[in-house]
Structure formats: C-alpha cells, structure tokens
Amino acid sequence: MFVCVSCLAVLCNISGVLVSNWTLGNASCPPSDQIQVQTQTPSEQYWDESALRRSSGMNETGTVVWHLALCLLLSSIIVGAALIKGIKSSGKVVYFTATFPYVVILILLIRGATLEGAREGIEYYIGTQSNLTKLTDAQVWKDAATQTFYSLSIGWGGVLTLASYNNFNNNVSKMLLSSASLMQVLGWRSLCICLSRFCLLHCVFVVPGFGGSCGPGALLRPASSSFPSLLCGRVVLFMLLTVGLDSQFAGIEVVITCLVDAFPSLLNSKRAFLTLGISCSVFLLGLPCVTQAGIYWVTLIDGFLGTWVLLVVGFMEVVGVSYIYGGNRFIKDIEMMIGEKSFFFWFWWRACWFFISPCIILVILVWSLVTLTPPSYGTVPYPDWALALGWCIAAFVLMWIPLVALYKFIKAKGSVWERLKSLCHPTEDWHPFLEKHRGERYSAEKKTDKQNVDTWSISAISSSWL
C-alpha cells in the first residue's frame, strides 16, 4: 500500500565512508554500521524542485517562479470575472465549483471501494489500527477546529456576507440541515473508504504542499501509465482548483461587500472597477508567495493567522452574540425571518451558543497556546525575524478588537457604568433595513428603550440570555 511519507535509505558506514550500494555483489553490512537517512519520494522531489523550486530557507527569497505567477494571475482573472457583476455572476459559477468536488468525491468513493487494501485503510482510520493517542495532541484538535472554520467560512465573514443577499424570510434552518447532511454522507463516507489508496486526501486542504507532493502520487500509483489513472490525477487537481476558487470567491466578496456597504453612494455604481482593483491587489500581494521562498511565507501566514488567531475571533463572536447582544434577543431576530419555533427547537442551539461552542473553542485555544511550538516547514526552521513578523501580523489582526472597544467607550457619554451599559445594548438604528420587515417588535422596542434608558441595568443583559 502506498504511503505518503519520506522514504528511508539504508547506508553502510565502511571505514568512515557512507556507501549506498553496499548490497551489490551480495555484500553485507553489520547492523551496527547501518545508518538510515531520510530521503524524498519522487513526488516530493518534483514538488520541491520543479513545482516550487524551493530555496533552502526563508532568508533566501530567490526569484519569482514564473509558472506559479501565471497560475496566480489566472486565478485572479477568474475570480475577478466571476465577481465583476456581484452575486449574480458568482452565484452561477458557484453552482459548478461547489458541486463538482462532491462529484469527484463520489467517483473516488466508488474507485476506492474497489481497490485492494480498502478495508485496511478504514482500519487505520477509524478501526482497530487507529492511533488514538493522537487525540491527546493539541495540534490535532486545533487543526480540526480551524479546518471547520475554513470549510464553513466561520469567522472570516463569508457566511454573513453571502447570507446578506438572501431574502429576509429565507428559511436558513432547512438549508443548514440539508447541507450538513450532504457533507456528512458524502464527505465522511468517501474519506473512510478512500484513505487506503488516496493517502489522506482530506489533508490536501490542511497541509501545505500535501496536494502537490503526495495526492497525485497516490492516485497514479496503482497504474501510473494507464490513461484512467492519469485522468483521475488531473481531475483531482482540477477539483482542488475549484475548491480554492470557491473559497476565494467568498473571501473577495467579503471585502467588496464591506466597502460597498460602508460607502454606498461612492462605490455602489463602481462595483466592477472595485472588483478589478481588489483582484489586481490580491495578485500583487500574492507575488511574494510565488517566489522560491513562497511556501515558507504561506506556511508562516497560515501558522499565525489561519489557526489560533481564527479561534480567538470565533470565540469573541460567540461570546458577543450570546452573552452581550443576548441569545434570546438573537432568537427573536431569527424568528422574525423563519417564524416562531418551540422551546425544544431552540434548546440545542442555546446549548451550543452558551456552553458547547465557547467551551470547546476556549479549551482548544488555551491548550494550543500552552503547547505552542514555533512553526516550521518540514525540517526547515524559521529565522527569528520571521517568527517576530508572524507575531506582529497576528497582533495587528487582533488589536482592533480592544482598540475599537476602547474607542467606543471613550466616545460614549455618562459615567463609566453608563458607558458600559450603552455599549452592551443595541443602538436605536439597529433593525432590519426595510421598513416592511421591522414589524411591531422593533418599533415597540425602540420606544421602550428610550423610556427605560435611565433605569436599564444588568438585569436587561441576563434576561436576554435565556
């Protein structure tokens, strides 16, 4: 069975000289003189030396790898073209980019089930051969949590941005349940069966370089010269392209929507030019990542921004909505869109919002920070200046949370307690955008808030929780 790990070459120490072909001529080497040296597989060598043209370290930037720069340019053009007309154009493209990976996974499911060793792969994944000691590793839980955040675009703003284009009365609960069921059935089952031959294909989306150095090699291994195997490898690589583009659509749409909503009179009629400008900016900002040291930059940014920083942002969002804005108030907002539901319907959501989600995120966050180790790319460590830069980037992202809170606190009026109360209470202009969607609830709430602004106390917060 093909395993995506570096190979071990056995050398023989003969009179202080390492000999690699000591087995020729039926020569023998005493076990005490045998030395195991880690080498790369052909796929890994192609990935490092041909695809990435990787330098020796981050201190050696090298030149821009032209074929990677062209791929970056192509992806920027595709993203710009798909988003140039907003959600109307990107929505049509997403119909293909979102469904095509499931088709490929279904093909891999059928193909993986017919390969020799499929049962052994399942045993190593969730069977008797599973290494359950990995569950005690904080890195495993951190990677799982951040992968969930990445896949569902939680904490990045993608969900909120795309949801803002839905109709006001769109039943989000049905969409959530149907998409969750589809992902569980297709994703989980396909991974369980395909792991034996496809070398942990899901790690392609987690480990930098895994898709290029390991995935295709595992797919082409059974019959590398046959046309079906070659086609299968290319289809999987195209699937990775569609997955990446799908995520890029959401990320760029977040930036565009935020700018248009912040300056509607200025940018609403110039959305196409704004989209082209952002796409060009993304291309220029991505050029350092397509140099010979680019993979080090990608790993550094991912290690500091795509992991525990994302957990901090997600934790603050959960706490802000559940405990500051108020879970009960949030539920009433949702019921304005989908209709009233029973207490038992919301019981699970309350449990998740108030206890399960914040506790899990907090435990993983603290655990990962306590066991934090400096990031590296394989066996190549990062220089001190790169680690300092990574911490500065993380601090720049997180510092806006306390700084904006402090700014709002200073701008508020009244005593310290009155300022704190006003910041933990919705403003008067907080309501659905269209008048027809506000109903009696918000109009009545606004009058009540104005009358009770002086007598409002901490009980208002506690009453909005449950």
Known binding positions: 151, 246-247
CA–CA gap between residue 49 and residue 37 (Å, rounded): 19
Kindly report the CA angle at 386 between 382 and 392, in degrees rounded to 5? 140
CA–CA gap between residue 82 and residue 78 (Å, rounded): 6
CA–CA gap between residue 64 and residue 46 (Å, rounded): 18
The tokens describing 10, both together, are: 């056995």
Q: Which helix (H) or strand (E) holds 246?
A: helix 227-262
Residue of 278, 243, 285 lying closest to 257 (CA atoms): 278
- State the sign of the Cα–Cα–Cα–Cα dihedral 42, 43, 49, 54: negative
The tokens describing 182, both together, are: 């589809």
Which amino acid is it at 188? Answer: W
Residue of 12, 60, 5 lying closest to 33 (CA atoms): 12
Reduce the DSSP state of residue 39 to 3 states and report it: strand
Annotated binding-site members for Na(+): 151, 246-247
CA–CA gap between residue 271 and residue 89 (Å, rounded): 13
Question: CB burial class (10 A; 0-12, 13-18, 19+) of residue 174?
Answer: exposed
Q: How far is CA 292 from CA 47, 211, 277, 399, in A?
A: 12, 18, 26, 32
Reduce the DSSP state of residue 8 to 3 states and report it: strand
Residue 164: count other Cβ atoms within 10 Å of its Cβ. 11
CA–CA gap between residue 409 and residue 279 (Å, rounded): 36
**Who contacts 158 (Cβ-Cβ below 8 Å, separation ≥6)?**
250, 251, 253, 254
CB 338 within 8 A of CB 169: yes
CA–CA gap between residue 375 and residue 224 (Å, rounded): 35
| Alpha helix positions (H), 293-381 | 294-305, 308-319, 327-338, 343-351, 357-370
